[in-house]
Amino acid sequence: MRFSGAVLAGGHSRRFGRDKARFRWLGRPLLLWVLESLAEAGERFVLAPRPYPEAGVPVLPDLKPGFGPLSGLHAALAYARSEVVAVAACDLPNLTPAYWRFLLRELGSAPALAVRDPLGRPEPLAALYTRRLLPLVERQLAAGRGRMAEVLELAGARYLGWEEVAGRFGPRVLWNLNRPEDL
């Protein structure tokens, strides 16, 4: 299945204390780990307010900034050429092409697909979205409602359980780096 891959790198990295996307982990910037996981996408791009020439892919701005990751999702859906868009945060270095292949196989006709973490919460920043969600995301932005988990719920997203995903890809597949001590 053809899909687009979008990496969100628009945050301020306040908790981390410096630009997470450029932070070197195991010899490479976090951003490059995530982009590599999306290597099978028909197109890849980064959504960020600053340049990342090291990415080697287009770096595009949010179209409606100010709503955090939901602004990034909006831009990803608007810019993507494929119907299905894999959306990943720049601080998830353990994602792999196999992870995205698995999600693509499981998507079916759902408008979105996300994994629930060990506490049962959806992980919206390592998920698949279809472009048909763009009007819903625009309504949420217009209403000042910026929670991505709410978009998943309103869309009627499909969810995969943590045990199934961790069993296939290991318990650190959705490990993200919010603070230096997360290392």
From CA 20, how far away is CA 11, in angstroms rounded? 9
Per-residue pLDDT at 16 exceeds 80? no
Whole-number pLDDT of residue 23: 78
Q: What is the CATH number of the domain that holds 20?
A: 3.90.550.10
Q: How confident is the model at residue 21 (pLDDT cuts 50, 70, 90)?
A: confident
Interval 47-92: pLDDT, tens: 999 999 999 999 999 999 999 999 999 999 999 999 999 999 999 9
Q: How confident is the model at residue 25 (pLDDT cuts 50, 70, 90)?
A: confident
Q: Identify each DSSP E strand in the chain by its residue range.
A: 4-8, 24-25, 28-29, 43-47, 59-60, 84-89, 112-116, 122-130, 158-160
Whole-number pLDDT of residue 151: 97
* Among 112, 121, 122, residue whose Cα is nearest residue 156: 112
Q: How confident is the model at residue 11 (pLDDT cuts 50, 70, 90)?
A: low
From CA 173, how far away is CA 20, in angstroms rounded? 18
- 21-25, 39-43, 137-141: segment of lowest average pLDDT: 21-25
Is the pLDDT higher at 160 or at 177?
160
39, 1 Cβ separation under 8 angstroms: no
Helix count (H) and strand count (E) of the chain? Answer: 6, 9
Whole-number pLDDT of residue 18: 54
First-to-last alpha carbon distance for the chain, in angstroms, is 34
Q: What phi and psi, each to the nearest 5 degrees, are found at residue 53?
A: -60, -25
Per-residue pLDDT at 7 exceeds 80? yes
Mean pLDDT within 4-23: 73
Q: Identify each DSSP E strand in 78-154 by its residue range.
A: 84-89, 112-116, 122-130
CA dihedral angle for residue 143, residue 8, residue 175, residue 132, rounded to 10 degrees: 60
- How many domains does the chain fold into? 1
Residue type, 170: G
From CA 174, how far away is CA 119, in angstroms rounded? 13
Give me the domain span that covers residue 139. 4-182
Per-residue pLDDT at 182 exceeds 70? no
pLDDT-above-70 percentage for the chain: 91
Q: Could you count the other beta carbons within 10 Å of the beta carbon of residue 167?
A: 10
Give me the chain's average pLDDT, please: 92
